[in-house]
Amino acid sequence: MKFKDCPNNKFIGFCVVRKASIRHTSAGKPYADLQVYDGAEQIMGRIWDYDGELPKESTVIKVEGVLLEYNGSPQITISRFRDAKEDEYDKAEFIPTYPGDRNDLQIRLQSNIGQIQTPSIRIMVKKIYEDFKAEYFDAPAAVFHHHNYLGGLLEHTLSVTRIALTLSSSQKQPVNTDLIIAGAVLHDIGKIQAYSWDGCAIEYSMDGKMIDHIPLGMMILKPYVDKYLDHDTAQHLLHIIASHHGLKEWGSPVEPSTQEAKIVHLADLVDARLNAN
C-alpha cells in the first residue's frame, strides 16, 4: 500500500526510514521525528511522546498510522511500528529507478565518446567508461536534488554532454570540442563512489561524506590522465572536472577559467536546475 492509496487516511504498510531523530515539543515532551518513503512518496512521520529506540535509517519498517496534513504537506502520525522481515518486501520497490531503457542511454553515451577526434583522449575516456560501466549503469546523480534514482548519473551525464555540445557549436571563438565531450562525460564520475545504493535507500557513502564527489573524481581520473594524456591536455581536463560546480560557494574547488570549463559548468547547471526536485 502507498500513502496516497490508503482508505480513510489509515495507513498500514511498509516504508523506508530515510531520517530518524528524537526531538522535543515546546513543552519539552520528546517525540520521534522521521522521514519515511513508501516507494513513491517521502513524507514526515511523527511518533508523539516517544523517546525509545529509533528505527535505523535506510531500513524498512512496517507502520500503522494516520495520515494528515501539516503546513500544507502530508504527514503520518505513527501509532506503532516494527522492523520488517526480509521476506515481507522487495527492496526494489523502495529505490527509485530511471523509468526508461538504460541500455539505450549507454549506447547514446558511447556514441558521444566515439565523436572525440583526438585518439589519446578518445581511448582514455573509452577505457574509463569500460572500467566503470557497471557503476555508471546503476549510480544515481544525487541523493536528493536531481536525478536521484538508479541510472540517474547515466541520464544526467548524457544530458550534460548533449547540452555542452550544443553550447560549443554556438561559440564564435574556437573551443576544444574533444575536451568538452570528455569533461562532460567524466565531470561527475566521483559520484560512483560518493553514493551508496546497496540497501533500501540512496545515501552518501563514507567517501561521499568525508571527501565528496569532485575530489573523488579527481582521484579516479589522475592515473588515467597521467597514462594517456600529455601534461597540458591533462591539466585542462582536470580543470573542467574541478571547476564544474562553478562558484566556490557552490562547492567548486576552483572556478572555471577556460571556455571549455565554462561550457561544461553551464551544461551541468542547466540540466540540474531543469530536473530539480
- What are the DSSP calls for 130-148, one per residue? HHTHHHHHH--S-SSSBS-
- Residue 37 · residue 15 · CB < 8 Å: yes
| Mean pLDDT within 79-96 | 89
- What's CA 19's distance to the chain center, in Å? 17
Angle, CA of 209, 218 and 211, to the nearest 5°: 15
pLDDT (tens digit, 9 = 90+) per residue, 174-230? 999 999 999 999 999 999 999 998 878 888 999 999 999 999 999 999 999 999 999
The region of weakest confidence among 1-10, 62-71, 152-161, 259-268 is 1-10
Mean pLDDT score across all residues of the chain: 94
The C-alpha cell at 118 is: 583526438
Residues 6+ apart with CB under 8 A from 132: 189, 192, 220
Name which of 119, 34, 37, 123 is nearest 78 in CA terms. 34
Burial class (CB in 10 A: 0-12, 13-18, 19+), 103: exposed
| Mean pLDDT within 25-38 | 94
Please report, rounded to a whole number, the percentage of residues in the chain having pLDDT higher than 90: 81
- Residue 45 · residue 35 · CB < 8 Å: yes
| Mean pLDDT within 78-87 | 94
pLDDT for res 71:
87
pLDDT for res 54:
95
pLDDT (tens digit, 9 = 90+) per residue, 120-141? 999 999 999 999 999 999 999 9
CA atoms in the 13 A half-sphere facing the CB of 52 = 8
